[in-house]
């Protein structure tokens, strides 16, 4: 995967078709199962060791799959990693639901804060953000991956934005509150908090970061 060469062609309609992407192929039910076992195994290994240190052979072993299967379901390592990014994003959002979709009260924001901190404590502060870590590794190296990661962050940010916007619409927050900025600040503090928490093996950074932004949001409370 070094010197990632990614081919893409622009179709007649102007849409960009991704040559070499495996996601549009037709697979049988059995095939899809093998494919998802591979993605699952790769996700775990990438989370633990990073992209560069995750070998295709390691993934094969963990998924119980042969080399030819790897390249039957994915064109190359890049393609697999993109699938991992998508999978980890789904997983991440699922782990924070349903609270993530109901971030429209101060109580809900606190529940979310507690949830995130608990998750890190459960794993003893080992492992940062599954997509943040990949972002730090690939953002400058792989344009396609960077775009995917940006999309992931967007997907994460959207429900936070929506929740805060609802609070403002409902009158919980002052009418001129810049809820989009607050939502972005929450995502920022989450990423930074996770990285420092991972490095210091201590949830204080995550806690302090989130609490700081939450306190700031409260200064916009109406009445």
* Total residues at interface with DNA (CB under 7 A): 26
Confirm or reject binding of residue 7 to DNA (CB under 7 A). Answer: no
Asked if 185 contacts 160 with a C-beta cutoff of 8 angstroms, the reply is no
Out of a copy of itself, DNA, none, which partner does residue 56 contact, by CB within 5 to 8 A per kind?
Answer: DNA
Length of the chain (residues): 223
Span 19-78, contacts to DNA by CB under 7 A:
26-32, 34, 54-58, 65-72, 76-78
By beta-carbon proximity to a copy of itself, the closer residue of 69 and 139 is 139
Query: How far is CA 74 from its chain centroid?
Result: 21
Confirm or reject binding of residue 83 to DNA (CB under 7 A). Answer: no
Confirm or reject binding of residue 143 to DNA (CB under 7 A). Answer: no
Q: Is 74 helix (H, G, I), strand (E, B) or coil?
A: coil
Q: Is 103 helix (H, G, I), strand (E, B) or coil?
A: coil
CA distance 124 to 134: 20
Q: CB of residue 81 vs DNA: minimum separation in angstroms?
A: 10
Q: The tokens 């991440």 sit on which residue?
A: 92
Asked if 86 contacts 145 with a C-beta cutoff of 8 angstroms, the reply is no
CA distance 36 to 63: 9
Out of DNA, a copy of itself, none, which partner does residue 49 contact, by CB within 5 to 8 A per kind?
Answer: a copy of itself
Chain residues binding a copy of itself by CB under 8 A are 2, 48-50, 52-53, 126-128, 132-133, 135-137, 139-141, 146, 149-150, 153, 181-182, 184-185, 187-193, 195-196, 198-201, 204-206, 208-209, 211-213, 215-216, 219
Asked if 47 contacts 137 with a C-beta cutoff of 8 angstroms, the reply is no
CA distance 125 to 116: 11
Q: CB of residue 150 vs DNA: minimum separation in angstroms?
A: 23
By beta-carbon proximity to DNA, the closer residue of 51 and 125 is 51
Span 97-136, contacts to DNA by CB under 7 A:
none
Q: Strand 16-17 relative to strand 9-10: parallel, antiparallel, unpaired?
A: antiparallel
- Residues at the contact surface with DNA, assessed by CB under 7 A: 1-2, 26-32, 34, 54-58, 65-72, 76-78
């Amino acid at each position: 995967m070094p010197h990632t060469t990614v081919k893409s062609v622009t179709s007649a309609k102007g849409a960009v078709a991704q040559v070499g992407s495996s996601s549009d192929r037709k697979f049988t039910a059995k095939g899809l199962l093998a494919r998802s076992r591979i993605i699952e195994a790769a996700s775990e290994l990438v989370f633990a060791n990073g992209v560069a240190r995750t070998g295709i052979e390691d993934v094969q072993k963990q998924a119980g799959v042969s080399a030819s299967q790897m390249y039957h379901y994915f064109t190359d390592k890049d393609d697999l990693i993109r699938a991992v990014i998508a999978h980890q994003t789904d997983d991440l959002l699922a782990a924070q639901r349903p609270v993530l979709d109901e971030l429209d009260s101060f109580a809900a924001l606190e529940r979310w804060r507690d949830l995130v901190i608990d998750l890190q404590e459960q794993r003893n502060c080992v492992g940062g953000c599954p997509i943040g870590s990949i972002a730090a590794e690939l953002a400058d190296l792989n344009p396609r991956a960077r775009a995917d990661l940006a999309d992931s962050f967007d997907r994460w940010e959207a429900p936070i934005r929506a929740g805060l916007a609802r609070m403002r619409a409902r009158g919980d927050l002052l009418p001129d509150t810049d809820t989009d900025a607050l939502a972005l600040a929450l995502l920022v503090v989450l990423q930074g908090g996770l990285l420092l928490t991972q490095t210091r093996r201590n949830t204080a950074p995550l806690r302090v970061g989130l609490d700081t932004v939450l306190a700031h949001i409260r200064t916009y409370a109406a009445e």
